[in-house]
Copies of this chain bind each other. A is one copy, B any other.
Amino acid sequence: MGTCIVKKLQLYADLSEDDKKLLMALQEEEEDFKAGEIIRKKGENSDHIYVVKHGWAYLSLTIDKDIRSIFDLKMDGDFVGINELSFNESLYDLVALTNVTVCPFPRKNLDIIFGKSRTLSRAFYSILSRQQALIYERIVSLGRRTALEKVAHLILEIALRYGNGIGIDASEKIDFPIRQEHLGDLLGLSSVHINRSMNELKRHGYITYDRNSLQLLDLDRLFNLANFNPLFLEKPFQDWIDKG
C-alpha cells in the first residue's frame, strides 16, 4: 500500500491531500523476499526504486571472490535506488538480510512527480540529501576512526535509525540480525576484529549484545566515544522553501 511511502515523506514535507493521492496512485504492489535472497542484482535494469516496508536489506558490491563492501543498510521506511536514477543499470546488489517486504515504485513515476508537485520534489530531494549526510559520516568513520570507534558509531547509527523507523527509543533492546561479517564489510574490518571490538564494548559496559539482539546501555558515553554528530537526528529542516 501507498501508506508506506506517504508516512516516510511526511517527515520531510507537509503533504497536501493531492500529494498523497498522487503518491498512492503511483504506488505498486508489494513484494516479499527471504533472508539472503538478492532483491536486485548489480547490472540489472533498474526500472524501480523501492521502499523497504518491513525487514532489513543492504546494498553491497563484491570486488573479488572474498572481498565485499557493504555501503548501506536499509530498514523500515528507507528508500533504495533513488540515487541511481541517472544510470541505466543498477550499480550495486540489493540483498535481503532478513525476510523483507519491499514496495517497488517505477522510477519514471518519480519524474511525473517532479512535474506535478513541488512539495514532493522537495521531499525526495531532501531524503536524498539526508542519505548523503549519513554517507559522509561513514567516510569519516572509515577514514579517521579506530576500529572501536567505527563499531561504536555504526551501532549507534543503526539503533537510532531503527528506533526512528519503528518508533522506539534508541536505548531499548532491539533485534539485531546483522552478522559480524556484515559489520566487517560495512566498516572495512575483518569479522574477527569486529568480534573483538563488540566484546570490548560489552566488557566496558557500553552495550549488551548477542547474536540476535543489541541494547545500548550508555548513550552518552557511546556518543562521546563515537564522536557522533547529533545533527543527524534532528527533524529535517524545511524552511529553505519559498513560502511566498
Residue of B nearest to A108 (CB): B242
The reply to whether A107 and B69 contact each other, CB–CB distance below 8 Å, is: no
Query: Is A156 engaged at the interface, CB distance under 8 Å to the other chain?
Result: no
Rounded to whole angstroms, the CA-CA distance of A191 and B203 in the bound complex is 34
Write out the residue numbers on chain B whose beta carbons fall within 8 Å of the beta carbon of A200: none
A50 at the interface (CB under 8 A from B): no
Contact A136 B91, beta carbon cutoff 8 Å: yes
Does the CB pair A187–B143 fall under 8 Å?
yes
The count of residues in chain A whose C-beta lies closer than 8 Å to any C-beta of chain B is 61
- B240 in contact with A67 (CB, 8 Å): no
Q: Does A212 contact B (CB under 8 A)?
A: no
A125 touches B128 (CB 8 A): yes
- Distance between Cα atoms of A207 and B149 in the complex (Å): 35
Within 8 A of B (CB), among A229-244: 229, 231, 234, 236-242
The residue of chain B having its C-beta at the shortest distance from the C-beta of A109 within the complex is B242
Q: A114-B118, A125-B125, A188-B144 are in contact. Are A133 and B84 (CB under 8 A)?
A: yes
Q: Is the CB of B108 within 8 A of A143?
A: no
Q: Is A148 an interface residue (CB 8 A)?
A: no
A188 CB → nearest B CB, Å = 3
Is A22's beta carbon under 8 Å from chain B? no
Interface residues of A, Cβ cutoff 8 Å to B: 12, 59, 61, 63, 67-69, 71, 82-89, 91-92, 107-112, 114-115, 118, 121-122, 124-126, 128-133, 135-136, 138-140, 142-144, 185-188, 227, 229, 231, 234, 236-242
Interchain residue pairs with CB less than 8 A apart (28): A63-B227, A68-B144, A69-B139, A69-B140, A69-B143, A71-B136, A71-B140, A82-B129, A83-B128, A84-B129, A85-B125, A85-B129, A87-B237, A88-B240, A91-B133, A91-B136, A107-B240, A110-B240, A111-B122, A125-B125, A131-B132, A132-B135, A135-B139, A138-B139, A143-B185, A143-B188, A144-B185, A144-B188
Shortest 9 CB-CB distances between A and B: which pairs?
A143-B188, A142-B142, A115-B118, A86-B126, A83-B132, A86-B236, A114-B121, A88-B237, A83-B129
